Amino acid sequence: MPRVVVTGLSAITPIGNDLETSWRALLAGKSGVDRLTRFDCSEYATRIAAEVKDFDPTLFMSVKEARRMDRFCHFAVASAKMLMQDSGLADDPMDMTQCGALVGCGLGGLETIEEFHTRLMKSGPKKVSPFYIPLLIANMAAGQISIATGAKGPNLATTSACASGLHGIGYAYSDIRLGRIRAMIAGGVESTITPMAVSGFNAMKALSISNEFPEKASRPFDLDRNGFVIGEGSGLLLLESLDSALERGARIYAEVAGFGASADAFHMTAPDESGEGMALAMRQALKEANVSPEQVDHINAHGTSTQLNDVCETRAIKEVFGRHAYDMLLTANKSMIGHTLGAAGGIEGVFSVLSIYNSRIPGSINLDTPDPECDLDYCSYGSVSRQISYALCNSFGFGGTNASILFKKFED
């Protein structure tokens, strides 16, 4: 089977509107959580969010095109165009019939749904735009990426809650391995900081209500965590067969070594407290890569800052890695960028690859009082220089859906 490598990266996050800015801010321990500004939240229990700030879609598309896209598609198209530059495809394109787009999105155009529902209720059906449906559907991120880049291969979305982005990367990798396609634009995108989303997550008691000190609110694995902070953004990777990458002389960031996907078969929203489903996904990724647990140096944890998830993930890691779990360095990107839902696996996949490429593991912030049940090394002391041979990235979502991807340092 073909080897699959990563030849391009892009990101739009609450700590930066491009890859380099986001990576520098992550290494510096900068929080992207602040007062929520996208709507009047004065009556809400949660009044903080990890918003993408000062983003101008018209730097990447015309005003007319921007009007015909929801914000999540703005992020998708902008990220895709930056990805084309980073991968070298903008200047030296490949056969785009051999390049597809598989992009995860958990909720799609929720902002569009709320806006047009209000119009419908106030003014009747004639005020609903013919662009309403194309604006909101979750697969439109992949569709707009295809249009913007000319990618004519498979064009589809993975929608698996907070595992959507990592599932997108995993199944894109699988398609290339099977020889169906040479390259895929893969990752995740989301923008759902809206009244309905915040009120819905508040009703579930899922969101942090630490409104007084926003930058301290997202605290994965900390004893005083009280819920996740909703975020937004996008993270895309160009996955490519090794032969294709070598043929065009592409820069290779890392190799994709294995992918695992599983289900808890347990509950609509709560993870199985045993961590069995999470552990199964990690084991599958290691098995596919033919890698022993002791060879893994780093885990980019799902680490949501919710009571159950952090404990369950820690249990699952211990179950898979045994004593070696205490020798690895883990990190929780969500401590700085919040929980970007369907985009999380895409963004954190990008950061995992950059950790390998730069031999640098970002720290986790706000881990002031570790939960006794979360007793691994989460890099709470800042970013660390470390040679990484293998890095595992985890994403888990509502419905008990789990994904793990193992990246490795590229060696020809």
Q: How far apart are CA 117 and CA 103, in angstroms?
A: 26
The answer to whether the beta carbons of residues 173 and 167 sit under 8 Å apart is no
The answer to whether the beta carbons of residues 103 and 188 sit under 8 Å apart is yes
Can you read off the two tokens belonging to residue 105?
């999105």
Residue 159 phi, psi (nearest 5) = -125, 95
SS3 (DSSP) at 151: coil
| Region label for 305, one of left (φ > 0), alpha (ψ between -120 and 50) or beta (otherwise) | left
The answer to whether the beta carbons of residues 392 and 256 sit under 8 Å apart is no
The answer to whether the beta carbons of residues 35 and 47 sit under 8 Å apart is yes
Residue 390 phi, psi (nearest 5) = -135, 135
Q: How far apart are CA 367 and CA 217, in angstroms?
A: 11
Containing H/E element for 156?
A: strand 155-156
| Closest C-alpha to 270, from 220, 318, 309 | 309
Can you read off the two tokens belonging to residue 396?
């888990």
Q: Where are the alpha helices (DSSP H) in 234-301?
A: 242-247, 276-289
- 99 in active site: no
Q: How far apart are CA 102 and CA 225, in angstroms?
A: 33
- 162 in active site: yes
Instruction: Name the active-site residue from 298, 302, 374, 393.
Output: 302
CB-CB neighbours of 327 under 10 Å = 12
Instruction: Name the active-site residue from 41, 99, 339, 379.
Output: 339
- 339 in active site: yes
Instruction: Name the active-site residue from 162, 312, 374, 379.
Output: 162
Q: How far apart are CA 166 and CA 171, in angstroms?
A: 9
Catalytically active residues, by annotation: 162, 302, 339
